[in-house]
Structure formats: C-alpha cells, structure tokens
Amino acid sequence: MGVIHLPARHRSHRWLVACLIGLVVIGAWLGRALLFESWTLASLPAFWWSGSDRFLLSAAGSDFDVSFANYSTTQTSAAPFDDRVPPILHHVAMGGAGAARQIEQWKEVRQSCLDIHPGWEAHIWTDEKANAFVAEQFPELREMWDGYKFPIQRIDALRYMVLYHYGGVILDMDLQCRRALGPLRRFDFVAPAAHPTGFSVGFMMASQRNPFVGALVRNLRPYNRAWLGLPYPTVMFSTGCHYASTIHAYQPNRTTLKVLAGPPDNFRLHSLNGHVQTPIFNHLGSSSWHSYDAALIVSVGRMLGHKLPILAVVAGVVVFVVVRRTKRRRAVRV
C-alpha cells in the first residue's frame, strides 16, 4: 500500500504548494479593503506631517496668532475675514442615566461657552435627540451606529454626522471656554493638535457640509471593524482620533483643514491631553482614557509605519492561514 501511495503524495505536495500560493493571491485580493485600511491606519505616523506647513495654523503660514494675544476674548466673528463656520455650539451627552449626570455635573462649564458666544444656536445631543437625528439624516448608517459595541464610538460618530449636517463647533462637556472662538471661524475646519501625531476630536470646528467632515462620515462603515479584537484599537481605529487623523492625512489637499498647535518652541500649547489650561480652554475632565489610548496606538503605529513591507508579509501570512483553515473546515464538512 505504501509503495502505491508515495509518488501520489509527492505529486499532491506540489499541487498543494501551487494551491496555497493561489489562495494567498486570492485572499489578498478578497482582503484588499482590510489591507488598505490597515495600511492607512498603521502608516499615519509616517504620513501625518507631510505638508504640515500648510495645515498647521501659524503666523507665517496663515497669518494667525496661535497665542490669541492679538484677539479680544469676546471676538465671536472672524471679521474682517468671512465666517466659514456657522455660529452653532454642539455638546454630546449620551449614555442613558450617565448622560443626565454628566449634564448636571458640567452644567456651569458648558454654560461658560454659551455665555461667551451670545446669540449662538446651541444643541445638546442626548440619546433621544441623537437617535432621531441619525434616523432622519443618516438612515443608511443607523443600523451600524446602533450596533457599535462601545458608547464612545456612537459619540464620536455622532460628532462627525452633526458637524457635517449643521457645521459649527463641537465641544466636549468638560471644556470651559476662556475666550470666544470667533478668530477661528475664518477656516473651513479646525481641530487641536494631539501628541505626538494627529488631532483631537473633543473640539472641532467646521463649515456646514465640509467635504472632509463628509469623508469622516463616509468612511465610518469601511473602518468599522473589531481592530485586533481589542477595545482600545477598535475605538481609536473605527471612530476615534486616530481614525479621524488618518482620513485627514489622506485628503488630497489638506490646506484648509487646519490643525491648531503652538509655535515650534511650545508645540503643545493647545493640546487637550489631561487636565490643562490652553489659551482657549480649561480642560477640567481627565481624559486619561484618550491619552492612554493615543500613546499605545501611536507607538504601535510608528513601529508598523516604518516596517510596512514586514506588515504586508505578515498580513499575507494571516490571510493565507485564515483561508487555508476555512478551506480545511469546508473540506471536513463535505
């Protein structure tokens, strides 16, 4: 019996190798969306800074005083420049009973921002209001939005949808306003720089139906994955700061998508990490959640960003193993 089997096994071995190579190619093709998204996310640290002299706010590049010393604290309009950002303030307070507590806890802090922008439209996005808004304006995203595993994903995604639909200013509940945001209204989009790459989504300003914010809404679906199967990467890569910064990095022209940072010798002047005071805000909450996350993801990203060829090979092997296992399982079932 052994005599008959040996040559056949050799032949089948060669066939097997050919099949497996074929499967890797097919697997890579089928998984190309995943490979592309993984690559964009992992390479953010390598690409974020390209052309930053055009999108970072500065005296030289945008004739803007990032210390805000030149502007009155009550300046609610960009005049003599055109106001691109409409006079609307948005706060998000979602998450059932916790949201009511949040509204109560940060009532005066939020009021500080309303008071310094008299006459502005103000929205507070509770669960009820957010559900109705998404159902009406983004019905195609509703099921996915409802199905997000982590509450922060629903909050982040809502930020982009609200900002796209209305334009205006999105503020975290724990940001106390030290001055009016008028000087920044001349730009189509503004968000504060995060450390060491990207920007934070706790404060964003945008014109209504801004194409970049539209891209943030449109890409929610393709990036909605259980990244690495872990909570932090899942949140950061599907809806959080890392996601938004990645979409920013891949915009064809980032000139109008401003990022607010300090001058080179004090780059973190506007960073909202932790309990800090910036020229515009007192950040009263502790967003240790976000900073821990960012640090973790960015270090992983930086590692991978410089090792893209290796990442590609690893991805190939993973696809190969998965496809083979699926095939084997199917064979067993047959």
In the complex, minimum distance from the CB of residue 280 to ligand NAG, in angstroms, rounded to a whole number? 16
* String of DSSP letters for 182-216: GGGGGSSEEEEB-SSSSB-SSEEEE-TT-HHHHHH
In the complex, minimum distance from the CB of residue 278 to ligand NAG, in angstroms, rounded to a whole number? 17
Identity of the residue, 54 or 123, whose beta carbon is nearer to ligand NAG in the bound complex: 54
Identity of the residue, 130 or 205, whose beta carbon is nearer to ligand NAG in the bound complex: 205
Pairing state between β 175-177 and 281-283: antiparallel
In the complex, minimum distance from the CB of residue 74 to ligand NAG, in angstroms, rounded to a whole number? 18
Name the one range near ligand NAG by CB under 6 A: 25-33, 59-67, 220-228, 282-290. 59-67
Omega prior to 183 cis, within 30 of 0: no
61 binds ligand NAG (CB under 6 A): no
Q: Where are the beta strands (DSSP E) in 210-273?
A: 257-260
* String of DSSP letters for 125-180: E-HHHHHHHHHHH-HHHHHHHHH-SSHHHHHHHHHHHHHHHH-EEEE-TTEEESS-
In the complex, minimum distance from the CB of residue 257 to ligand NAG, in angstroms, rounded to a whole number? 10
Distance CA(133)–CA(159), nearest Å, equals 12
Distance CA(255)–CA(58), nearest Å, equals 12
- 28, with CB counted inside 10 A (0-12, 13-18, 19+), is middle
Determine which residue in the list 21, 25, 26, 59 makes contact with ligand NAG, applying CB under 6 A: 59
In the complex, minimum distance from the CB of residue 60 to ligand NAG, in angstroms, rounded to a whole number? 9
Closest CA relative to residue 167, chosen from 195, 141, 187? 187
Mask of contacts with ligand NAG, 63-92, x by CB under 6 A? xxx----x----------------------
Name the one range near ligand NAG by CB under 6 A: 41-49, 61-69, 74-82, 302-310. 61-69
Identity of the residue, 256 or 282, whose beta carbon is nearer to ligand NAG in the bound complex: 256
In the complex, minimum distance from the CB of residue 78 to ligand NAG, in angstroms, rounded to a whole number? 13
In the complex, minimum distance from the CB of residue 154 to ligand NAG, in angstroms, rounded to a whole number? 33
Distance CA(204)–CA(168), nearest Å, equals 8
**Secondary structure (3-state) at 283:** strand
Identity of the residue, 80 or 309, whose beta carbon is nearer to ligand NAG in the bound complex: 80
Identity of the residue, 74 or 255, whose beta carbon is nearer to ligand NAG in the bound complex: 255
Judge contact between 293 and 236, C-beta under 8 A: yes
Size of the site for ligand NAG (CB under 6 A): 8
Q: Which amino acid is residue 282, in one-letter code? A: N
In the complex, minimum distance from the CB of residue 65 to ligand NAG, in angstroms, rounded to a whole number? 4
Identity of the residue, 70 or 326, whose beta carbon is nearer to ligand NAG in the bound complex: 70
What part of residues 248-287 is at the interface with ligand NAG (CB under 6 A)?
Answer: 253, 255-256
Judge contact between 277 and 283, C-beta under 8 A: yes
Omega prior to 196 cis, within 30 of 0: yes
Identity of the residue, 73 or 255, whose beta carbon is nearer to ligand NAG in the bound complex: 255
In the complex, minimum distance from the CB of residue 211 to ligand NAG, in angstroms, rounded to a whole number? 11
Identity of the residue, 72 or 255, whose beta carbon is nearer to ligand NAG in the bound complex: 255
What part of residues 194-253 is at the interface with ligand NAG (CB under 6 A)?
Answer: 253
**Interface residues with ligand NAG (CB under 6 A)?**
59, 63-65, 70, 253, 255-256
